[in-house]
Structure 1
Amino acid sequence: MDPARLVVAELAANAALHGRVPGRSFRLTLSVTASGALRVEVADTRGDHLPTRARATAEVPTESGYGLLLVEELADRWGVRCGPVPCKTVWAELDLVHRR
């Protein structure tokens, strides 16, 4: 599957699962940066609940918690931007030039 689709799916799933506030949804934005990267942004209203990186060396594998490891492997850059309160935006960029 296309890496961009996996990144979009993972960030959207995380927002729906962990960033959901009853009565509110999340916003998905896709854009191309001036440097030629696909930028995926998912904003939700749980600014108090920031994503954490899963431990790749966990002794006991779990069924969940590895999504951001997948994003980290597939994206060229990713991070979290806080605000405006109560929101946060998790973003990832995939360089399109190197993926052809």
Structure 2
Amino acid sequence: MSLAAGAGWLLPTTRKPSLPSCRRSATNKPQLTRAKFAEAMLAELYEPVNDWLYPELTAAHQALGAAVGKTYGVGFSHLPGAEREVAIVNHLLELYAQATKQT
């Protein structure tokens, strides 16, 4: 897969058609959902033991993770929560390193 840098993040050049729908459906949902809980601190919202208090936020982040996986052609849904997040971030950082590598 080749990558193109854009607006501070990487676009997979082989799957561009799916990116806009993924962005519309998932990218802004965590921020919009967090706004519903404006009185809560971020640390409280993202404390794993509080997932049951904010199921909408958990679902929004799961949808975003699925959209990232679909956009970049990888799947991490088989991994448990925290491990999945680490795998997604590591994968994106690896893609960034490859795209910005000096040749």
**Taking structure 1 as the reference length, what is the TM-score of the superposition?**
0.28
Q: Relative to total residues, which structure has the larger strand share, 1 or 2?
A: 1
In our comparison, the structure showing a higher alpha carbon Rg is 2
TM-score normalised by the chain length of structure 2: 0.28
